Amino acid sequence: MKQIKLFNDFKETHINEGFFSEIWDKVVSTYKKMKDKYGDSAWLQYNKKLDTENKLPKGVEIYSPSTKMNEDRMPLEHPDDEIFNSDANEFLEEIEATYNLRVDTGKLTSMFVWGGPGIGKTDIVKQAAKKLDIELIIFHLSQIDPTDFRGLPIIHDIELSEKDLKDLKKSFKDEKTIKRSGNALPLVFPTNNGDNGKGGILFLDEMNLASDFVLKAAMPLALDGSYEGYDLPSNWIIISAGNRRDDVPDTDVTEIRGALGDRFLHLNYVATVEAWSYWAKNKEFVDPQLIAFLNFTPEWFHKLEKDDDQSSAWPSPRSWTTASEMIYHRGKKSFNVSDNIKRRVYQMSVGRAAMSAYMQYEKLVSIISEEDIKTIYKTGKLKKKLPTPPDTLNAVLNTIAYYKTGKHLTTKELDNMFNFAESLTSFEYTTSLMAALKAAHSDKNGNCYYHSESDLREIFDKHIDIWYEKYENMTAGNDI
């Protein structure tokens, strides 16, 4: 490693923005070691270790399912290396670019979005529609009948022209009109660009799970924006989406490849804890403690098994969010519900193993109360003694850091948090807390507002000097 001799070099190369994450990457905790050994079951294995050493907090229960290793889980990346894997920001950018191309040139670009179930593809499309200030119509093609998409058969009276009458006089000697059959367009299909004239998005979800009849009706619209005399209005775009074959075993999946696949632009959306956290921390119905848990143990963020024994209830961004929202309303717009209700709701949503892991996390961090956390933000001090087991302490620090996620810290609150971080017994824990605090207050691009706002930056820089001195004393000029 490079030896740091000058403060300015250290400050410029190590402290700015990525300082805490860089330091934390060098820290090998007990949990990290166990994760290398046990994979997904590390969290439960660590709790077993605490249990055998009589260090498990009172009231914590251990549920040890037959946890599978990583290779038995469905990865969010597409199995086809030719398909582009995109994060939430890139997905949003491509939707916006497709819309702008349509508005500027009239060209309709056919996009097919792949992605595992429950990761929030629809939510990203909703975000794009909101940002562009346009309408959104969603078709879940696997759940509709052909008539829902094509409309019901009707008889049209077609008025004949003089030429028609002349050409058809033998068959329609006394007729002024002729009857023709066709389909009545469903009311949900847009016929104009909306009240603001900006158009919208027609989202054809679960396309490759649709029945043959629905797919035959939907495909011309998805590719060309028209079918059976209907043309999509000028400022509307169409986005098609579907799951990978391995995501939905024992299900008839239409292959979107070959000549058909060549008609689409393909994108595979990969959800991340960071992107979901940025979205979730601005939603009052998502528990900050749940956000902290999933950042602390991201292996529970999305856990879809490869085999046919996959449970109907399993952890995904969608199911975690649903559970949190249910609890929020059960608690009358708070998360203060009994443990029994919380266990029940989470197990119904994410399954028993994920529920158990989350409830264990809550028990571990319950040794610090909400009033304790408020005191830290108000005074920078904590009277009670913090736990000593590394993962227990890191879980508590993580909860403290995420307590005010989604809310702007004042200069006093930031100063107090830094003072509290400096009071911790180890520089490892200082960097752990501050890395979590930065993540809790960063935007979707990873930029933290207290690094750029002048009054908060002044507080940050003041404590950087303190941390540097502490770190310099610890390393005593050795290589770092």
**Spacing of C-alpha 390 from chain mean position:** 28
Q: How far apart are CA 373 and CA 260, in angstroms?
A: 56
Tell me which residue range forms the domain holding 207. Answer: 84-150+199-269
* 13 and 108 share one domain: no
* 261 and 364 share one domain: no
Mean of pLDDT values over 319-338 = 94
Predicted confidence at residue 463, as pLDDT, reads 87
* 3-state secondary structure at position 231: strand
Predicted confidence (pLDDT) at residue 465 exceeds the cutoff of 70: yes
pTM metric for this prediction: 0.67
* 145 and 37 share one domain: no
**Spacing of C-alpha 466 from chain mean position:** 36
Contact assessment for residue 285 and residue 325, using Cβ atoms and an 8 Å cutoff: yes
Choose the final residue of a domain: 250, 269, 288: 269
* 174 and 320 share one domain: no
Per the model's pLDDT, the better-predicted residue between 123 and 55 turns out to be: 123
pLDDT confidence of 319, banded at 50, 70, 90? very high
Among 233-237, 255-259, 279-283, which is the least confidently predicted range?
255-259
* 301 and 391 share one domain: yes
Predicted confidence (pLDDT) at residue 17 exceeds the cutoff of 60: no
Position 193 in a domain: no
Predicted confidence at residue 51, as pLDDT, reads 55
Total number of domains constituting the chain: 3
* 104 and 180 share one domain: no
Contact assessment for residue 85 and residue 198, using Cβ atoms and an 8 Å cutoff: no
Predicted confidence at residue 379, as pLDDT, reads 94
* 358 and 406 share one domain: yes
Question: pLDDT by residue (tens digit) across 332-361?
Answer: 999 999 999 999 999 999 999 899 999 988
Q: What percent of the chain has pLDDT over 70?
A: 74
Mean of pLDDT over the chain: 79
**Token pair of 6, please?**
């000058």
Per the model's pLDDT, the better-predicted residue between 424 and 149 turns out to be: 424
* 278 and 265 share one domain: no
Predicted confidence at residue 74, as pLDDT, reads 63
Contact assessment for residue 154 and residue 181, using Cβ atoms and an 8 Å cutoff: yes
* 303 and 368 share one domain: yes
